[in-house]
Amino acid sequence: MWTAFRPLPTVLSLGLCWVLFSGCDSGKKQFQEANAQYEALVDKGVPPTDPAWDAVVASLEKVPEGSRSRPEADKRLAAIRGLRGSLPPRPLATPGATGPGTSEADVKRAACEALAKKLGQATDAAAREPLRTALAQCHADLVKLEAKSHPEGEEGHEHGGEPH
């Protein structure tokens, strides 16, 4: 009869260990709370430079290193920090030239390049919008200039157009 109940203590001890170890991850609750804040700010469209993200960063940093939730917390922290950093320079314009002997298109290219650099350095959304509009207009003007300008000796009629 004793042998019939022998597996019972083993099963009970395994069950007790499972209950104890599954509930020991203290970082899980901290991560869930921080993740709820994270998702709320993402859903609202709050920019990463907003001070509201500071609380989320602090909460994610409190998730213990040994926690099973720590890798996910590290991913969230890396995403926030990556978006909070300075923007990399973007190739929004081709380099232009200024000075004596440059064409009107080169001067316009230089103006577009300068606007593109300012846009890449602007961090405030309100400051970026007028720069984005000005850069779009600059690109449109540049396209018109390039369409009308031809290299020396080529007046456009060589490609089926009318001579000037």
d(CA 131, CA 133): 5
pTM for the structure as a whole:
0.42
Angle at 131 between CA 111 and CA 93, to 5 degrees: 45
The pLDDT tens digits for 109-120 are 888 888 888 888
Q: Is 107 exposed, middle or buried (0-12, 13-18, 19+ CB in 10 A)?
A: middle
Q: What is the pLDDT of residue 158?
A: 56
**Which comes out higher in pLDDT, residue 116 or 6?**
116
Confidence of residue 1 (pLDDT cuts 50, 70, 90): very low
Residues in CB range of 23: below 8 A, 6 or more apart: none
- Give me the mean pLDDT over the 151-159 stretch: 57
d(CA 104, CA 38): 49
Confidence of residue 137 (pLDDT cuts 50, 70, 90): very high
